[in-house]
Amino acid sequence: MDIARVISKRSFLLGLLGLILVLLATLPLYAKGYTPILMTSLIMYAILSVSWTLFSGPTGYISLAPAAFFGVGIYAAAILGKSVPLPVFIVAGGLASFIVALLVGALTLRLKGIYFAIFTFGLVMLIMQLLVFWELHISGIRGRFVIVIDYNTIYYAMLIIFVVLMLTVYFIKRSKFGLALQSIGENEEAAAHTGINVTMVKVITFAISAFFMGAAGAAIATRWTYIDPYIAFNVNVSFLPVLMAIFGGLGQLYGPVIGAAIFAYLQEVLTTKFSELYMLIFGVVLVAAILYLPNGLVGLIPKLWKRSSGGQHAST
Amino acid sequence: MTITTILDVVIGGLLMGGIYALIAMGLSLQYGVARVLNIAHGEFITLGAFSTWVLYTAFGINPLISLVIVGPLIFIIGFLLHRTLFRSLLKSAPSLAAFEGSSLLATFGLLYIIQNIALIIWSSASQAYSYLASPVNLWGAIFAANRLVTLGFAVGIGLAFYIFLARTRLGKAIRAAAQDPTAAGLMGVNINQVLALCFGLGALMAGFAGVLYSMCFSIQATMGLQYTLIAIIVVVLGGLGSIPGSFLGGFILGIIGSVVTYIEPSLSLAAFYSIFILLLLVRPTGIMGK
Amino acid sequence: MPVLEGEGVTKYFGGLAAVSQVDFHVDQGEVVGLIGPNGAGKTTLFNLISGALVPKSGVIRFKGEKISGLKPYQICRKGVARTFQSVKVFGNMPVLENVLLGSLFGTPTGMSSVNAAKEARGLLEFVELSALRATPAKDLTLANQKRLEVARALATKPELLLLDEVMAGLNPTEVAQAMELITRIRDKGITIFMIEHVMKAIMGVCDRIMVLHHGEKIAEGTPHEIATSKTVIEVYLGE
């Protein structure tokens, strides 16, 4: 029973993380064919759900905007892809989303949570409609071709975005800013009266989360070769990360990652074999998760741990 | 710009407005009283529309009769949904804000479930039927009779509902519950029953809207979501928590939509949305909100 | 010289005047009490001072500078801190971090993290909560949560402290301890404006008392004057 003490929890976790990272980094070398493509999608969803959680988790404001920022990133890749290298248009996609989020956030984060949710919900369709209008009447070109990049490069790009995201989230949580963010989620009014500029913290966090969603969109666009407003702005991309994050659990950093992994994989399996049913299954899982797993899978772990150790260890 | 064109735009706007009004009143009931922002609201429109289509094309049942067949069925579905799913969420929620959030997400799930079922049963193909399509001449503008009938029924149902809320005992209980659930409970109102009732009534309104819509336009299994969004905009326009506000707001938005569509069809949603943003920033309580 | 003054402060909720044409002032170093029946508008007045609400008309000044219309965080950084009627601690965060937030964000000039932590620890000692510094705030007793709120407010280095019913729900021993804490805060040179229903505390600690009823100020004076004022007694007995 002293094994827990012998291997200090911290170094064990770090070692595990390092191993996973190495495995992921060398993936294209030992897993050919479809696996890097699958993993790219998986990591992409992990980016979306962790970014979503970064903002919506602590503040409690449900954002339905991921699809909007994702789409902005896609369009950035389409527009810039032929003239600048991959890293540049990925960052550009992220920055464009960052700016849109700053605007949207500054306008709407002063409102009650429910208005914010509604607003972000419609944002996707609004941007899509504006782009349709633009392409129809101003540019005259419908849709765009995206530069094609090989799968392995895309995989690495996505992986790097993910690692940067996780580092960012980690450092935010440990910083003054992260403390302020957490206090806003605990009690926004008290936080405001303790000297925290609540609106600014919310807007900046929202924009940071949007940056990564945009970057992910820009990276994945290169796989689709052709995009138009309907392809780029798909409401599902807003719903799925939320589902994944809630299912995985918002309490821990890795919760949304697990949720994303499970669902991205499930989506692959279901769209090939039961393509008519996957929406249904997702819907059922979401409802079940909200009813029975309010803290997500991650919330189950302390409970399981307590039960298996006979309740001798106090929960940390 | 001739009188005919103006009439066209106005009556066309009122027609859509009537449908918007019904949908919005339904959503207003669900959010205003039961505090559930039902993202799956539009799916009940889909159910109403397709049930009517099936009843008409397979059994020759008059769509107006379908109102009384389909309506109660959809009401029951909504009522049961609340009594099972949302009641359970309400019990386990630590605060009202938490309940609003979790119920919002639960309706996501419902959206996925219902839309998928609709797609399985009816596929993604567009469907339509012809009923009362004969033209009617109103001061030079020609309208299909079914559109005028739809408009009439929408207004009629809306007014009937308003009277129900204002004059009947049950209606007053609902309004009391919307104002202050605790006080209402203390005064003998069975709050849980009322909440489920309101949710069911909200679904009923969406069902009615679907039945009427199917008479005039073609329908698809994926049609619901855009109307949910419009309903939300109307509810905010009219004032959160105000049923008469939703009724009026529906017609106002219908006319605005009709005007914008006349000028530039691809911008109608953008126009609605801009109005929405403006409202939220300038007067979030809406036209008739508190 | 008044640290805080208000002229003609008015606030409506719907058609009802929650606060109506209230003039008030609090001088440097005073402990002023604010009393009145339930619904008199006391917390609303505090909300207007702290920036949670904006007055419909009238003006509020802090050290001569107009603060009505500013955001709560701005008013806090200028030197006005408050506690809340229903305790608003950051439940899932440890006690120390609750106070730390005040030191990090609420002071007129910034502070380094190291100094902020020192300040926070010092304040925990001042309110006698040091032993509980790692406990999540939601696990504290009500009396201790109130102390925590006070410590957090003090961490923002206020010149004026607004206490909203800090003694509500406390037993007699805890009330006495709270009165003693208030005296110690006053000895530090901080001006105090407090809403209270516990008469013993108000009479014992305040230099001056203001009475609100239906949103209007109906009396003002020393504890003795208020205790013997016919107007005030009628208002309370008529309840």
Residues 6+ apart with CB under 8 A from C91: A186, A187, C136, C137, C138
Mutate to test the interface with A, among B112, B268, B269 (most CBs of A within 10 A): B112
Question: CB-based burial of residue A30 (10 Å sphere; 0-12 exposed, 13-18 middle, 19+ buried)?
Answer: exposed
> Residue B112 and residue A114: Cβ atoms within 8 Å?
no
Tokens of A292: 């029975």
Q: Give the total number of structural domains in chain C.
A: 2
C157-168: pLDDT as tens digits: 999 999 999 998
> Residue B264 and residue A133: Cβ atoms within 8 Å?
yes
B209-267: pLDDT as tens digits: 999 999 888 898 888 988 998 898 898 888 777 788 888 889 999 999 999 888 887 77
* Residue B289 belongs to a domain: no
* Residue B239 belongs to a domain: yes
* Residue B269 belongs to a domain: yes
Whether C142 and C189 share a structural domain: no
pLDDT, residue B166, reads 81
Do residues B250 and B240 make contact, with C-beta atoms less than 8 angstroms apart? no
Give the distance from residue A42's alpha carbon to the nearest chain B alpha carbon, in angstroms.
21
Q: Tokens 């058609």 correspond to what residue? A: C15
Average pLDDT over residues A8-16: 76
> Residue C90 and residue A186: Cβ atoms within 8 Å?
yes
Three-class secondary structure of residue C127 per DSSP: coil
**Is it the case that residue A316 has pLDDT exceeding 60?**
no
> Residue A132 and residue B266: Cβ atoms within 8 Å?
yes
B70-96: pLDDT as tens digits: 999 999 999 999 999 988 888 888 777
Q: Give the total number of structural domains in chain B.
A: 1
Nearest to A159 by CA among A62, A54, A294, A257: A257
Give the distance from residue B267's alpha carbon to the nearest chain A alpha carbon, in angstroms.
7
pLDDT, residue B1, reads 66
Whether C50 and C75 share a structural domain: yes
Nearest residue on chain C to A186, alpha-carbon basis: C90
A290 close to B (CB below 8 A): yes
Query: CA-to-CA distance for B152 and A136, rounded, in angstroms?
Result: 37
Whether C67 and C174 share a structural domain: yes
Residues 6+ apart with CB under 8 A from A233: A67, A68, A71, A124, A125, A127, A128, A131
* Residue C25 belongs to a domain: yes
Nearest residue on chain B to A281, alpha-carbon basis: B113
Whether C163 and C230 share a structural domain: yes
Residue B72: give its domain's CATH number. 1.10.3470
Residue B59's domain comprises 3-282
Whether C163 and C233 share a structural domain: yes
Write out chain B in H/E/C secondary structure: CCHHHHHHHHHHHHHHHHHHHHHHHHHHHHHHCCCCCCCCHHHHHHHHHHHHHHHHHHHCCCHHHHHHHHHHHHHHHHHHHHHHHHHHHHHHCCCHHHHHHHHHHHHHHHHHHHHHHHHHHHCCCCECCCCCCCEEEECCEEEEHHHHHHHHHHHHHHHHHHHHHHHCHHHHHHHHHHHCHHHHHHCCCCHHHHHHHHHHHHHHHHHHHHHHHHHHCCECCCCHHHHHHHHHHHHHHHCCCCHHHHHHHHHHHHHHHHHHHHHCHHHHHHHHHHHHHHHHHHCCCCCCCC
Strand partners, C12: C17
Do residues C178 and C171 make contact, with C-beta atoms less than 8 angstroms apart? no
Nearest residue on chain A to B97, alpha-carbon basis: A113
* Residue C147 belongs to a domain: yes
Nearest to A233 by CA among A106, A108, A100: A100
B227 close to A (CB below 8 A): no
Q: Which member of C77, C90, C91 has the closest CB to residue A195?
A: C77
Query: CA-to-CA distance for B290 and B288, rounded, in angstroms?
Result: 7
Nearest to C81 by CA among C176, C166, C172, C200: C166
A207-240: pLDDT as tens digits: 999 999 999 999 999 888 888 888 889 888 888 8
- Name chain A's partners: 3 or more CB pairs within 8 A: B, C
The last residue of a domain, from among C155, C172, C201: C155
Write out chain A residues lying below 8 Å of B241, CB-based.
none
* Residue B185 belongs to a domain: yes
Write out chain A in H/E/C secondary structure: CCHHHHCCHHHHHHHHHHHHHHHHHCHHHHCCCHHHHHHHHHHHHHHHHHHHHHHHHHHCCCCCCHHHHHHHHHHHHHHHCCCCCHHHHHHHHHHHHHHHHHHHHHHHCCCCHHHHHHHHHHHHHHHHHHHHHHHHHHHCCCCEECCCCCHHHHHHHHHHHHHHHHHHHHHHHCCHHHHHHHHHHHCHHHHHHCCCCHHHHHHHHHHHHHHHHHHHHHHHHCCCCEECHHHHCCCHHHHHHHHHHHHHCCCCCCHHHHHHHHHHHHHHHHHHHCCCCHHHHHHHHHHHHHHHCCCHHHHHHHHHHHHHCCCCCCCC
C51-97: pLDDT as tens digits: 999 999 999 999 999 999 999 999 999 999 999 999 999 988 999 99
> Residue B97 and residue A294: Cβ atoms within 8 Å?
no
Residue C94's domain comprises 89-155
> Residue A195 and residue C102: Cβ atoms within 8 Å?
yes
Q: How confident is the model at residue A311 (pLDDT cuts 50, 70, 90)?
A: very low
> Residue C71 and residue A179: Cβ atoms within 8 Å?
no
Q: List all residues of chain A from 278 to 297 with a beta carbon under 8 Å from chain C.
A: none
**Over the range A45-76, which residues count as b (16 or more CB within 10 Å of their CB) and which as e?**
bbbbbbbbbbbbbbbbbbbbbbbbbbbbbbbb
The number of angstroms, rounded, from the C-alpha of C21 to the middle of its chain's C-alpha atoms is 21
Whether C122 and C227 share a structural domain: no
* Residue C231 belongs to a domain: yes
Question: CB-based burial of residue C189 (10 Å sphere; 0-12 exposed, 13-18 middle, 19+ buried)?
Answer: exposed
Query: CA-to-CA distance for B20 and B209, rounded, in angstroms?
Result: 8
Tokens of A178: 């992260």
Write out chain A residues lying below 8 Å of C80, CB-based.
none
The four Cα atoms A144, A145, A149, A154 give a dihedral, to 10 degrees, of: 30
Residue C166: give its domain's CATH number. 3.40.50.300
Query: CA-to-CA distance for C174 and A217, rounded, in angstroms?
Result: 58
* Residue B212 belongs to a domain: yes
The last residue of a domain, from among C116, C140, C155: C155
Give the distance from residue A186's alpha carbon to the nearest chain C alpha carbon, in angstroms.
5
Give the distance from residue A6's alpha carbon to the nearest chain C alpha carbon, in angstroms.
25
A248-269: pLDDT as tens digits: 888 777 889 989 998 888 888 8
Where is pLDDT greater, at A315 or B179? B179
Q: List all residues of chain A from 182 to 221 with a beta carbon under 8 Å from chain C.
A: 182-183, 186-187, 189-198
Give the distance from residue B101's alpha carbon to the nearest chain A alpha carbon, in angstroms.
7
Give the distance from residue A274's alpha carbon to the nearest chain B alpha carbon, in angstroms.
12
Give the distance from residue A72's alpha carbon to the nearest chain B alpha carbon, in angstroms.
17
pLDDT, residue A22, reads 83
Residues 6+ apart with CB under 8 A from A43: A155, A158, A159, A162
Instruction: Provide φ and ψ at C193, rounded to 5°.
Output: -125, 115
Where is pLDDT greater, at B166 or A214? A214
Q: Which member of B92, B97, B229 has the closest CB to residue A122?
A: B229
Write out chain C residues lying below 8 Å of A183, CB-based.
90, 93, 101
pLDDT, residue A101, reads 95
A212 close to B (CB below 8 A): no
**Longest C-alpha distance within chain B, in Å?**
60
Of the ranges A308-312, B185-189, C170-174, which one carries the lowest mean pLDDT score?
A: A308-312
Query: CA-to-CA distance for C149 and C91, rounded, in angstroms?
Result: 11
- Interface size A-B, in CB pairs within 8 Å, comes to 110
Mutate to test the interface with A, among C47, C73, C87 (most CBs of A within 10 A): C73
> Residue C88 and residue A180: Cβ atoms within 8 Å?
no
Q: How confident is the model at residue C201 (pLDDT cuts 50, 70, 90)?
A: confident
Three-class secondary structure of residue C156 per DSSP: coil
> Residue B266 and residue A113: Cβ atoms within 8 Å?
no
The last residue of a domain, from among C155, C171, C199: C155
- pTM value surpassing 0.90: no
Whether C126 and C221 share a structural domain: no
Nearest to C155 by CA among C186, C191, C124, C189: C124
Q: Which member of A182, A187, A192 has the closest CB to residue C73?
A: A192
Nearest residue on chain B to A123, alpha-carbon basis: B273
Give the distance from residue B186's alpha carbon to the nearest chain A alpha carbon, in angstroms.
28
* Residue C52 belongs to a domain: yes
Q: Tokens 């000692």 correspond to what residue? A: C125
Do residues B109 and B94 make contact, with C-beta atoms less than 8 angstroms apart? no
B84 close to A (CB below 8 A): no
> Residue A180 and residue C152: Cβ atoms within 8 Å?
no
pLDDT, residue C239, reads 47
Mutate to test the interface with B, among A63, A280, A281, A284 (most CBs of B within 10 A): A280
The number of angstroms, rounded, from the C-alpha of C19 to the middle of its chain's C-alpha atoms is 17
> Residue B106 and residue A286: Cβ atoms within 8 Å?
yes
* Residue C84 belongs to a domain: no
* Residue B127 belongs to a domain: yes
Q: Which member of C71, C90, C97 has the closest CB to residue A190?
A: C90
Do residues A214 and A70 make contact, with C-beta atoms less than 8 angstroms apart? yes
A244 close to C (CB below 8 A): no
* Residue B290 belongs to a domain: no
